[in-house]
Structure 1
Amino acid sequence: MNSEPTILAIASNADSITLKDGRKEHAGYYLNELVIPVQAALDAGYQMVLATPNGTKPIMDPQSATAAHFGGSEEALRKALDFINTHPAMQNPRSFRSLIEEGLDRYIGFYAPGGHPPMVDLIQDPDLGEILRHAHSTAKTTALLCHGPIAIAAAMPKAKEFRAALVAGKPEEAKRLAEGWQYAGYRMTIFSNDEEHYAEEHYMGGGKIPFYVNDALKIAGGDVSISDKGIFKPFVIEDRELITGQNPPSDHEMAKRFVKALDRATAKAA
């Protein structure tokens, strides 16, 4: 087993999301949201393991494979695509359960990108819940971007029921189900409702998603803030071990904060 400080990159296995009208819309992780922070950690000397609920490769949202998400640079886009197509960790994901059975102590930090898939499976995955409870109890850096922060709801003992209540439009029931959540009271951010309305209009044919992640974290007890500079502006919040970013343009700020937190943890452990 590699003794180098290692991060665990967490991704979804969902490839679609069911809208309120029953229509299924393709979904996947956002390329820049995964590659920019992870590559920054690798460049800083950390190793990476990729894990998904069932151990199969996560699906990328093809709409994210555009130079616009990489400062307009076609070269940066090409490098990002090369990374996901060739990096050994990206080709050989592990299942959450297999990593739990191996032991989670080797991981110095955890990172999850967005795209809509975390709303589907990560939010209610019991194995991810176990990983998150380990991260929380050991105060290990836990960073999540865009829709990614909704995954921390998995730490709830009744995460499946919590999601079901959100989908059913029962916020009071969801609030009750979230009682005792480890991250209640943490300052955090996530993809805003206004940004979601934009996504619904421009990427989902006007269809409505099953619930809004911003509202969900507030219902759960998170102290949620969004940028006051308008939609799709970089915004990252750090509170204790938790680092959350609002949207795709927050990728570079997230990368910077993530690496700094990892470096602090490494120095402390030395």
Structure 2
Amino acid sequence: MASKKVLIIVSDADHFPIQKTSGSDAGKTVDQPSGYFLMELAKPLSKLLDAGYEVTFASPEGKEPTPDPNSESLLTFAGNFYERRRENELIERMKKENGFSHPRKFADISDDELQGFAGVFLPGGHAPLADLGDNKDLGRILEHFHGAQKPTGAICHGPYAFLSTKASGDGNFAYKGYKITCWSDQEEKLMETMLGGEIPKVEAQLKEAGADMQTGLGEKAGYITVDRELVTGGNPLAADVLGDKFLEMLQK
């Protein structure tokens, strides 16, 4: 019988680094508040739970995940108060039933335990920039799913975590040559204009590592990219369709 367990990777960070280029902090690196992006986690998570999957949350040090403040604004939900409430209630349910407030530490998840998971999912938000790009144990975890060709879903800044595969094993990037979609450098530059500083670029770093980055109008419109065991999307608009495709891949 196929496994009905999915691992969800979250960041411990409630901020990410930004190099200020304007204002009183110009020239300094400051902490910009962030966390997981609510709908990028909640929409795929809801589909997994509805399909009967058991989810386990994991992070570098097991700290309670923090939502990105921008992801909870009513503007992000296009004014849909009820959808925002539904997704917040889902997270509260996860805190009570699924250990969301106390994720498993990466180092505590053994190779043998990984055998029991059918797939792994990584939501976005800027927080992964702080602690998911160079983590040896996360690299080990991702290499398990890569080596076994188990479904691996990531959205927005989530694919930044793929860089951790360079921190484990032989130091090679596990997804070299893979077609990947993430939060684009062009979108990040808009964020830089809004925040007045420079932000690490996910797209550029994945491309430098050897990924075949898929960008353009499709990414901005919420299209997803599927390549072997990977399904990736660039921004919150992709959350619904990515969740559907990830679930389809699991059920195969």
Letter in 2 for 1:225: Q
Equivalent residue for 1:171?
none
Give runs of aligned pairs for residues 211-230 of structure 1, distance below 5 A.
211-229=200-218
Identical aligned residues as a percent: 33
Question: Which stretch of structure 1 is more off in the superposition, 94-103 or 249-258?
Answer: 94-103
Give runs of aligned pairs for residues 251-270 of structure 1, distance below 5 A.
251-264=239-252
Unaligned runs of 5+ in 1: 160-176, 265-270
Equivalent residue for 1:5?
4
TM-score normalised per structure 1: 0.83
Partners of 2:86 and 2:61 lie apart in 1 by 27
Equivalent residue for 1:103?
113
Partners of 1:237 and 1:68 lie apart in 2 by 27
Q: Are 1:197 and 2:199 counterparts? A: no
CA RMSD of aligned residues (A): 2.0
Partners of 1:39 and 1:70 lie apart in 2 by 16
| Higher share in helix | 1
- Measure how far apart 1:37 and its partner are: 0.7
1:227–1:235 contact (8 Å) kept in structure 2 = no
Give runs of aligned pairs for residues 1-270 of structure 1, distance below 5 A.
5-20=4-19, 21-70=28-77, 72-87=79-94, 88-89=97-98, 90-100=100-110, 103-157=113-167, 180-202=172-194, 204=195, 206-209=196-199, 211-229=200-218, 232-264=220-252
Letter in 1 for 2:174: Q
TM-score normalised per structure 2: 0.89
Deviation per CA, 1:119-146: give whole Å up to 9, x if none. 1211111110110111111111111100
Q: Secondary structure at the match of 2:8?
A: strand
Partners of 1:92 and 1:17 lie apart in 2 by 21
Partners of 1:138 and 1:69 lie apart in 2 by 36
